[in-house]
A and B are shown apart, each in its own frame.
Chain A
């Protein structure tokens, strides 16, 4: 079992609100590795929308993504795509 972590800064105006969370969970669901997101003391399943919403991650908070799986390349790939979505501000404001 391999594990990779990466810090993500939430930059979009609304934070990880319902629409953004839906995009993130949809993306994670397409990948095989497990994804966990942690903000302060709370870690949730990144493939669960309820979990992601419970993080209540507003703009300016940092969320740590932790990918767990067999194949390290797959982990990196997942984190890259998540990071791109977050840095693209979830397509808000274009």
Chain B
């Protein structure tokens, strides 16, 4: 969906006043992944476009160049060794071994001897020689057929880059402290970069690659720092210290803004702050309608680091903990210990509030025989999630055991994705029983009564919901997939994206059927898709009878505020009428005319996405 730029964001006459020296004033667009406004100076963490001197040296200079190379190599080894010594914590050993591998690369004849030869025989300067050695090694890796080993090219780049920076007397690491008002600009951020940046004072992030679920985006949201990703060419356009504004709500980056524009954005930033203050005052208020119906508000998370942020936003629990990151991060199927460690961190971080752990929703195309993982995107109609779990029970059993072991440390729930039939639900439950029995025999403590629920995201599940509800403890509706499968629309396909209509009467009826079936069986229904995060839909979801809404933490105050302005009786009456509508347009018109007045600072409701049809 496209967010409309609010009035006044177009270039005004003030933008034509020239102030920047040499830097062209312009506006770039990307994907806003963490809202808010940052005003500051670019701090370039540029890994890809390092320009190095390239020249032939004289015979007399050869020894000096060789010495220079040796010094830079030794310095790089020392830096990595220091970093390895400093890494602590549960993942310490893992990280430290990766750094050890990088240290060994710096001493490897494949790299060092090739670079030395280039200096000695071809009289290339040290930088040039090193780059050539790196390119040679990468070529060899290119020819490997195994994806994992081929990808070690990036490790070679990582060490090569470090040596090159040391050769040129440049900073090789993210510095201990960034300059004041730093906005980090990079093509991409390595896991090491993001880790060390997390401990710094910075105002915002801008990267060329990445999407809403990239590590940078997750980190930015967790830290409540404005971020825009997917801004093509930004690291080429900016130099360190260049003035810029990042608008994480609109996904815009303004380079060399005029004083007038800066003043305008200071105002917007102040409005954001005011709105946030108003909304955070709502943190401890319940999500209750004017006539007393209470809704549970929970958060969708991907990393345990997000929990404090979710709690601060007023989450009463975690309604969806996505576990795919764990698989993709390790680039293979995690071990029982790794699963247990992650889920225990979540269970312990929740302070007694429940967390719903969703078993992996990955495609079979990502699993290699060796247990390694491939690619990023699952095939929507293929072997994924629960289907893969049934086919590869070991992968599922490993994860289930991890969840069960962690359930001894705090209230956890198991949620099964992509269940399309009662048989699949039964098969998954058998696996859970098998794990429980194994732990019982081994005398490992776990929650014997851990609730097991399922996602409702396939139309087939909707229409057998009566049967499914009798055999599980809760439903959670995943609207993104449910809408995609019901309407046969891939919303990333620009030709049909406009047909992705959450308010399609067919969708409303499916939701209504699901909730009715669940309540008849006496189980609770949650919604964890994007529809739940949309304040404009709050009335519809209330009227349909959902018990819980789970969403990105930052959406909670806004949706809660809206719920507090609805009357449950009005919502129920409205939904009755909506279910009789013939078109999405009719639904939308009726919904808009029935929205209650929501008194709040105008900015607080701004980031909202327009209702279907108007986007």
Contacts and interface: CB of A to CB of B under 8 A. Distances in A.
A54 B140 CA distance: 8
Given A13-B370, A14-B372, A56 B105 contact: no
Contacts, number: 77
Which of B101, B156, B337, B372 has most A Cβ within 10 Å?
B101
A15 B371 CA distance: 10
A27 B155 CA distance: 21
B111 A50 contact: yes
A6 B100 CA distance: 26
A17 interface: yes
A17 B368 CA distance: 14
Interface stretch (A18-26, A64-72, A79-87): A18-26
Contacts of B372: 14, 58
A89 to B, nearest CB: 11
A13 B367 CA distance: 12
A56 B143 CA distance: 11
Interface string B328-342: 000011011100000
A22 B100 contact: yes
Contact of A18 (B98, B144, B333, B371): B98
Contact of B371 (A14, A23, A25, A50): A14
Interface in B359-375: 369-372
B149 interface: yes
Interface string B133-146: 00001001100111
B148 A17 contact: yes
B104 A49 contact: yes
Interface in A1-50: 13-15, 17-19, 21-23, 25-26, 45, 48-50
Contact of B155 (A14, A18, A25, A60): A18
B59 interface: no
Interface size class of chain B, counting residues whose CB lies under 8 Å from the partner chain: 20 to 34
Contacts of A93: 335-337
The secondary structure that dominates the B interface is: helix
A43 to B, nearest CB: 14
B267 interface: no
Given A25-B104, A56-B146, A18 B152 contact: yes
B110 A19 contact: no
B98 A54 contact: no
Given A22-B101, A49-B105, A15 B370 contact: yes
Given A54-B141, A60-B370, A48 B100 contact: no
A53 B108 CA distance: 12
B109 A19 contact: no
Most buried by B among A22, A53, A58: A53
A58 B370 contact: yes
A14 to B, nearest CB: 6
A94 B336 CA distance: 10
B573 to A, nearest CB: 57
A76 interface: no
Contacts of A92: 335
Contacts of B108: 48-51
Nearest to B113: A48
B97 interface: yes
Given A13-B333, A53-B152, A45 B109 contact: yes
Given A17-B148, A26-B104, A56-B145, A51 B370 contact: no
A53 to B, nearest CB: 5
A21 B101 contact: yes
A19 B332 contact: no
Interface of A: 13-15, 17-19, 21-23, 25-26, 45, 48-51, 53-54, 56, 58-60, 92-94
14 contacts: A13-B335, A13-B370, A14-B370, A14-B372, A18-B101, A21-B104, A22-B101, A25-B104, A48-B109, A50-B108, A50-B111, A50-B156, A54-B141, A93-B336
